[in-house]
Amino acid sequence: MGNKVVKFGGSSLADAGQFAKVREIIRADAARLFVVPSAPGKRFADDIKVTDMLYESQRLACAGEDFGPVFDRICQRYRGIARDLGLQCDLEGPLQKVREDLAAGADADYAASRGEFLNGILLADYLGYPFVDAAELIVFDEAGNFLPEETQKKASAVLKDYTCAVVPGFYGAKRDGTVKTFSRGGSDITGAIVARAIDAALYENWTDVSGFLMADPRIVKNPETIDYITYRELRELSYMGASVLHEEAIFPVRLAGIPINIKNTNAPDHPGTMIMDRFDEAARKHTVTGIAGHKGFTVITIEKEMMNTERGFGRKVLSVLEKFDISFEHMPSSIDTLSVVIADAQLGDNLDAILTSLHEAVSPDALEVSDNMALIATVGHGMVRQRGVAAKLFDALVGAGVNVRMIDQGSSEMNIIVGVESDDFDLAVRAIYQAFVTA
């Protein structure tokens, strides 16, 4: 039987009690030999993640303000875990080093990475596994882009000398040794990289929910677990906001054909969700695999009669966005209208300037802006073969009194995206869930 990589999220390692559950899980299966921890996460709803406190410490240090009190709270989190578990490893030395580095002007990536680094030291000691610094395995270029093939070479060469190891999640290093983190939630990517590097039989991703759920449990009460899902479906759902797995975590394992199993640290016997390239279609319980979405989008709708006959119309619109260095999410079109959906974070303060440029570039009959929009994706390979899926979805939304502002049936044919007003977001997700799952 092949080895397993086990990644534990911040909620799974938030305190000593959680560490104990993690060790029990690892000891229950002799194949669980490569462990990727996140930084201590929230212990209760209003708690603060260590990663957030590290960013805050760095921000204060950088502004020349006193970061001592925030950093002391970080130290207390780690000291509490080490004390409650009776660990003997040197924690004070590494804590002091981080404090000094922050005072000396360390950057945000380095600061944030120390959350996983310190937790990795504690977990390695608790398990009796060697600690392998992710900075020795994971490579970024000078501009900060992750280099997958160079990483695969380096990580597999280093890890072949270990029968087991703890590798902290979330970061790697540029070739000059400067620490670089992935985007938030990026420990999931580290787990996938380690799985590919050791050619694991399975990548287990342990979190605080019993697998990937059909909808966000903060919106839908007790949603069903998705038993099986393909990498592609999962990527669509993760990208659209289902935060349980970082959307980029799929690439390394998909390349190597390694399945991912999402499991619950607080309910380890639950089978969770299996993610793989394909599976027996008969195993699907519902037409729809999952529903995900998020708020914070603006839609610009461009109207122009006979637009469809005008050569290069789409290109001109896109070149305006390119000029502002903006990427778009979707671009549904009909005969005389074309809409571009843009995340507000991309748009910044550029909306007025973009509208002016669009007027100059394509002389539209009208430009309409809908801000404060949310996008919801209803995803499932099974949707292609079923008639009436779109009708059922819209009936559900109309029945709930939701005003649908935009529709995009993605070219992947396993995805229908609707744009609704942000205030209707939760209502719309519940209505779709009810129509496809509980009705």
Ligand X SMILES: Nc1ncnc2c1ncn2[C@@H]1O[C@H](COP(=O)(O)OP(=O)(O)O)[C@@H](O)[C@H]1O
Taking the complex as a whole, the smallest distance from the CB of residue 124 to ligand PHD amounts, in Å, to 17
Identify whether the C-beta of residue 315 lies closer than 8 Å to the C-beta of residue 331: no
Task: Report strand pairing: 290-303 vs 4-8.
Answer: unpaired
Q: Using alpha carbons, list the distances in angstroms from residue 111 to 19, 142, 276, 388, 403.
A: 23, 19, 35, 51, 44
Q: Using alpha carbons, list the distances in angstroms from residue 169 to 69, 212, 225, 287, 420.
A: 26, 20, 26, 35, 36
Identify whether the C-beta of residue 123 lies closer than 8 Å to the C-beta of residue 26: no
Task: Please identify, among the stretches 115-123, 151-159, 208-216, 334-342, the one whose residues bind ligand X according to the rule CB under 6 A.
Answer: 208-216
Identify whether the C-beta of residue 101 lies closer than 8 Å to the C-beta of residue 110: yes
Of 184 and 304, CB closest to ligand X: 184
Is residue 9 a contact point for ligand X (CB under 6 A)?
A: yes
> Residues 139-178 vs ligand X: string with x where CB under 6 A?
----------------------------------------
Task: Retrieve residue 19's tokens.
Answer: 């560490």
Is residue 186 a contact point for ligand X (CB under 6 A)?
A: no
Task: Please identify, among the stretches 34-42, 233-241, 253-261, 416-424, the one whose residues bind ligand PHD according to the rule CB under 6 A.
Answer: 34-42
Residue ranges for the known binding site are 116, 207-208, 218
Of 338 and 377, CB closest to ligand X: 377
Q: Quick one: which of 51, 151, 181, 207 contacts ligand X (CB under 6 A)? A: 207
Residue ranges for the known binding site for substrate are 116
Task: State the number of binding residues for ligand X (CB under 6 A).
Answer: 20
Residue ranges for the known binding site for ATP are 207-208, 218
Task: Retrieve residue 1's tokens.
Answer: 């039987």
DSSP 8-state class, residue 423: G
The backbone torsions φ and ψ at residue 322, rounded to the nearest 5 degrees and listed phi first, read -60, -40
Q: Quick one: which of 6, 135, 200, 244 contacts ligand X (CB under 6 A)? A: 244
Among candidates 54, 32, 82, which has minimal Cα distance to 191?
Answer: 32
Residue matched to tokens 């599976």 = 279
Please give the Cα distance from 24 to 32 (Å, whole number).
11
| 39 interface partner picked from ligand X, ligand PHD, none, CB below 5 to 8 A per type | ligand PHD
Please give the Cα distance from 280 to 208 (Å, whole number).
27
> Residues 285-314 vs ligand X: string with x where CB under 6 A?
-------x----------------------
Taking the complex as a whole, the smallest distance from the CB of residue 186 to ligand PHD amounts, in Å, to 5
Q: Quick one: which of 3, 4, 5, 10 contacts ligand X (CB under 6 A)? A: 10
Residue 428, strand partner residues: none
Q: Quick one: which of 6, 39, 118, 139 contacts ligand PHD (CB under 6 A)? A: 39
The backbone torsions φ and ψ at residue 97, rounded to the nearest 5 degrees and listed phi first, read -60, -45
Is residue 184 a contact point for ligand PHD (CB under 6 A)?
A: yes
Among candidates 118, 132, 350, which has minimal Cα distance to 358?
Answer: 350
| 208 interface partner picked from ligand PHD, ligand X, none, CB below 5 to 8 A per type | ligand X
Of 119 and 339, CB closest to ligand PHD: 119
In the bound complex, which residue of the shown chain has the CB atom lying closest to ligand PHD? 10
| 236 interface partner picked from ligand X, ligand PHD, none, CB below 5 to 8 A per type | none
Is residue 268 a contact point for ligand X (CB under 6 A)?
A: no
Taking the complex as a whole, the smallest distance from the CB of residue 7 to ligand X amounts, in Å, to 8
Phi/psi region, residue 312 (left: phi>0; alpha: psi -120 to 50; beta: rest), is left
> Residues 108-127 vs ligand PHD: string with x where CB under 6 A?
-------x------------
Task: Give the distance, in angstroms, between the CA of residue 419 and the centroid of all CA atoms in the same chain.
Answer: 21
Task: Please identify, among the stretches 106-114, 207-215, 346-354, 355-363, the one whose residues bind ligand X according to the rule CB under 6 A.
Answer: 207-215
Residue 303, strand partner residues: 337, 366
Is residue 180 a contact point for ligand PHD (CB under 6 A)?
A: no
Taking the complex as a whole, the smallest distance from the CB of residue 115 to ligand PHD amounts, in Å, to 5
Task: Retrieve residue 191's tokens.
Answer: 């787990």
Please give the Cα distance from 362 to 414 (Å, whole number).
32
Identify whether the C-beta of residue 171 lies closer than 8 Å to the C-beta of residue 182: yes
Q: Quick one: which of 3, 12, 119, 415 contacts ligand X (CB under 6 A)? A: 12
Residues within the interface to ligand X (CB under 6 A): 9-12, 38, 41, 185, 207-209, 212-213, 215-218, 242-244, 292
Residues within the interface to ligand PHD (CB under 6 A): 9-10, 38-39, 41, 49, 51, 115, 169-170, 184-188
